[in-house]
Structure 1
């Protein structure tokens, strides 16, 4: 049953599609952060192992919130690796080396790319799709990723 929340089914579909790509991007960053947690090496292993764990746990919560927002709009969240790879704006770039610096630079780039993508969606969601709720939700995601990016960036100084 389509939600009766003052947004046409067509616009709900457009909002959900935007969120599908965000969910895919979140999943790619989550997977890459898990990889960093599992594979980091070096003198700073322990601290970075714990740092990456805190980040992937936060990303896990974000993915759940995005998927639930898609459901609120009356659509189903993509839930296969194939669909995530088709929908993402990021790549599965395979790094060379397992130092924390390599992982951090790669993850920082992904977070910043996602922040830019989120910013591009905020106004269209509100004005073109008449979905202030999802626009507000995306604004909150951007703020969360800005803080996560800051945490990564601070390790590079």
Structure 2
């Protein structure tokens, strides 16, 4: 049930809006978990690649921060509340928090996995969004997939000999 007492008539059924908002809530949770992981690693990275990774992680978490707002606002435009608590994010996210402070290349591995998990979450929504003919959400998902796949590739490249 929508949290808005004014009827929403944007050409998407209530069922479609509800299902898409639920999927986007999962994407928001994965995106926030990825953001937090990346920012944590930015603060705590050390070793010979400190400067490169510190700067790379900053660029990544800054981009991710902007994306959080876009995803949450799309959920709101569909007529639903966006999740916004740690408890909700933990429940909805497919990405698990990393314990402790891993070594630099382990941080990179964790980020590759988290970028790919976030891409999978976004991609899983595409059939539902296509069936509903929801172009704004499809556009958002396509943009997020492009960023997550490219970032995963760049991080993965650091792990190759």
TM-score, normalised to structure 2, is: 0.89
Aligned to 1:132: 135
Paired residues of 2:20 and 2:128 also in contact (CA < 8 A): no
Aligned to 1:91: 96
Once the two structures are superposed, residues 87-145 of structure 1 have per-residue CA deviations (whole angstroms, 9 ceiling, x without a partner) of 111111326x5422110000101111221222221112211x34232123212211111
4+ residue runs over 4 A deviation = none
* Distance of 1:2 and 1:67 partners within structure 2: 20
**How many matched pairs?**
155
TM-score, normalised to structure 1, is: 0.91
Paired residues of 1:15 and 1:131 also in contact (CA < 8 A): no
Aligned to 1:33: 38
* Distance of 1:88 and 1:2 partners within structure 2: 30
Aligned to 1:144: 147
Structure 1: which 5+ runs fail to align? none
Q: CA RMSD in A?
A: 1.5
* Distance of 2:67 and 2:156 partners within structure 1: 20
Once the two structures are superposed, residues 47-85 of structure 1 have per-residue CA deviations (whole angstroms, 9 ceiling, x without a partner) of 211111111001101111101111111111111100111
2:118 equivalent to 1:114: yes
Paired residues of 2:75 and 2:81 also in contact (CA < 8 A): yes
Aligned to 1:68: 73
Paired residues of 2:129 and 2:138 also in contact (CA < 8 A): yes
Aligned to 1:100: 104
